[in-house]
Structure 1
Amino acid sequence: MINLPLKLEYILPPLCLVILSSSFATFNLNEYLEFNRELVANGEFWRIFTSQFVHANWPHLGLNCAGILLIWALHAEHTSPARYAFNIAILALWCGLGVWLFCPDIQIYTGLSALLHGVIIWGAVKDVQAGMFSGWLLFAGTWAKVIWEQIAGPSESVSQLIASNVAIDAHFIGAVGGTLLALPIFIKIIKNRE
């Protein structure tokens, strides 16, 4: 039987993330919050952070909400509301700065998918720490997906669904961010095995 993490402390953080992103979509705030390279260069630096929480359209938001739901089901019990907020905030800033610094071809960027790649990597490492072999599979599988995107390019069907380019380089940046965020956990795992 599936044992979902249904305590309020586990439900509330991902629910807040869904509500925040849905609110931005409802009020069509992309014009003010999306990553726009020209506007960031002109001093609208908040877009580096806020771009993670707006989406190209409703299907784009729906895909990312499905990702939030999956991560909640897999890893909610590994984190407190404060840790969840910390991970989201750090990865949002990391991913936005990564797009700004390392993806000069990206002029407009939106979406949670990059930071969600980081969150799922962090959760996979927490699974490993909890002694779950599936954590290694999830870690390797997520990295395999990110590397495959770098080799094969973005999914054409997803690009059509969201009516936008899939920012595979941002996914890579998010996975790197999640791995770095999980580094202290890796160190604890290694020390505990000594």
Structure 2
Amino acid sequence: MPSFLQIYRSPLILAFIVLLLAAFEPVTGQWLRFDRAAMADGEWWRFFTAHLVHLSWGHALGNLGGLALFAYITGRYCSQLPMLLFFLFSCLFVSLSLFLFAPDLYFYVGLSGVLHGLLLLGGIRSPFYANGLKVLFVVIIVAKVIWEQSPFYDDLAMVGYIGGRVETRAHLFGSISAFLWLAAGYLKHYFAEVKAHG
């Protein structure tokens, strides 16, 4: 029977990296954050590392709480290769989308955008819950993201806790990354079926 560390190794490693980087702020943030000018000058690693650094301990711990929820709902699947590949895809997709479609954004840090994608994908793919519960989970997250894009959401409400404004567009792009991943998986399966029966 797999041990706790074997089952949750990927979220635990990610949490360790986030905490380690938080301990050396602000230096780590300056080198790893989403920095539009630096990225335009070729510092490509920031497209991935921006999601590992945070504004404050409160910001980091809040996102690690979301990571724990992801690990809980996916169980042993959270450390399997498809989830790891999606994590990298979502990091790149969120950063690239912010770079291309949020020209007013010069700096960004945090795991929350990718986390929205992980929670959506994990909730849909989890083998542990009934379809009705999965649908409810997805509806709640999608409704939250839509609300965040509306004028009724105050993106400064969490300033006192996380140390800055909530970048709701990252949540939107993270959610889109999950649906794109799911669509790609469906199309791959569909064409494999067509080929098998062709």
> TM-score interval w.r.t. the shorter chain?
0.7 to 0.9
The one-letter code of the counterpart of 1:107 is Y
Report the counterpart of residue 177 of structure 1 in structure 2.
177
Give 1:165's aligned residue: 165
The answer on 1:35 being equivalent to 2:34 is yes
- The alpha-carbon distance between structure 1 residues 62 and 130, as it changes in their structure 2 partners (threshold 3 A), is closer
String of CA shifts for 1:123-177, please: whole Å, max 9, x gaps: 1221489643211111111000000000123443323211111000110000000
Give the match for residue 21 of structure 1.
Answer: 18
CA pair 169-98 structure 1, distance change in 2 beyond 3 A: same
Number of residue pairs matched by the alignment:
186
AA aligned opposite 2:16? I
Secondary structure, aligned partner of 2:43: coil
Which amino acid is 2:180 matched to? L
Aligned mates of 1:60, 1:11 — CA distance in 2: 22
Q: Which runs of 5+ in 2 are unaligned?
A: 194-198
Q: Return the alpha-carbon distance in structure 2 between the equivalents of residues 63 and 149 of structure 1.
A: 17
Please list, as runs of the form range in 1=range in 2, the aligned pairs for 1:135-146 lying within 5 A after superposition. Answer: 135-146=134-145
Corresponding residue number in structure 2 for 1:104: 103
Q: Which runs of 4+ in 1 moved over 6 A?
A: none
Does the 8 A contact of 1:48 with 1:100 survive in 2?
no
TM-score of the aligned structures, taking structure 2 as reference length:
0.85
Contact 1:154 1:168 in 2 (8 A): no
Which residue identity does 1:20 align to in structure 2?
I
Q: Quick one: structure 1 residues 128 and 150, their matched pair in 2 at CA, closer, same or farther if it must change by over 3 Å? A: farther
Q: Distance in 2 between matches of 1:9 and 1:78?
A: 11
| Matched residue SS, 1:53 | coil
Moved more, 72-81 or 12-21: 72-81
Distance 2:84 2:127 in 1: 22
Check the 8 A contact 2:156/2:164 in 1, yes or no. no
CA distance in 1, matches of 2:184, 2:39: 32
Check the 8 A contact 1:38/1:107 in 2, yes or no.
Answer: yes
Q: 2:77 & 2:127 partners in 1: Cα distance?
A: 11
Q: Give the Cα–Cα distance (whole angstroms) in 2 for the partners of residues 113 and 39 of structure 1.
A: 22
Q: Which has the larger radius of gyration?
A: 2
Q: Unmatched 5+ residue regions in structure 1? A: none
Corresponding residue SS for 2:42: coil
